[in-house]
Amino acid sequence: MTDQPPGPYNQPGPYNQPPGSYQPGPYNQPPGSYQPGPYSQGGIPYSQPGYYGVPEPKTLSIASMVCGIASVIMGFLLLPQIAAIITGHMALKREPSGKGMSITGLVLGYLCLLGYGALWLLAIIGLAVASTTTGTTSTF
């Protein structure tokens, strides 16, 4: 090691020395002979990112989310809720990358099924009660 004053953080190095007083490197290269290329950052040569393959298809997850959103709008049919729930459960098993969309479809499907199912149930009960009371006559 050469007798150089310690640099910042008590590390030895050519800090705070006048230019031109540097010692040659281990391969007798003059200091500062390396010039980075135009696409390098911090002395690291530029390289293209690796190819990771084709992204996973998320068709079931997208279908679950779309059916969940459609169940909010057209939920009185009860068909979009069932489709959102079925495709959401299938997507959770098959497509781990579309987990957020499939959970969104499941939540919307179950909530709308509960809400519109209760609405249908109340309508059926109301119609049944109304049909039994209109057939009887009251004597006042």
Range of the domain at 122: 59-133
Please report whether residue 111 resides in a domain.
yes
Please report whether residue 29 resides in a domain.
no
CA distance linking residue 118 with residue 110, whole number of Å: 12
Please report whether residue 114 resides in a domain.
yes
CA dihedral 72, 74, 78, 82 (to 10 degrees): -60
CA distance linking residue 12 with residue 2, whole number of Å: 9
Number of alpha carbons in the 13 Å side-chain half-sphere of residue 14: 10
How many distinct structural domains can be found in the chain?
1
Please report whether residue 117 resides in a domain.
yes
Please report whether residue 140 resides in a domain.
no
Each residue's pLDDT tens digit, 73-105:
998 888 999 999 999 999 999 999 999 999 999
Please report whether residue 95 resides in a domain.
yes
Indicate the pTM of the whole model.
0.56
Each residue's pLDDT tens digit, 106-120:
999 999 999 999 999
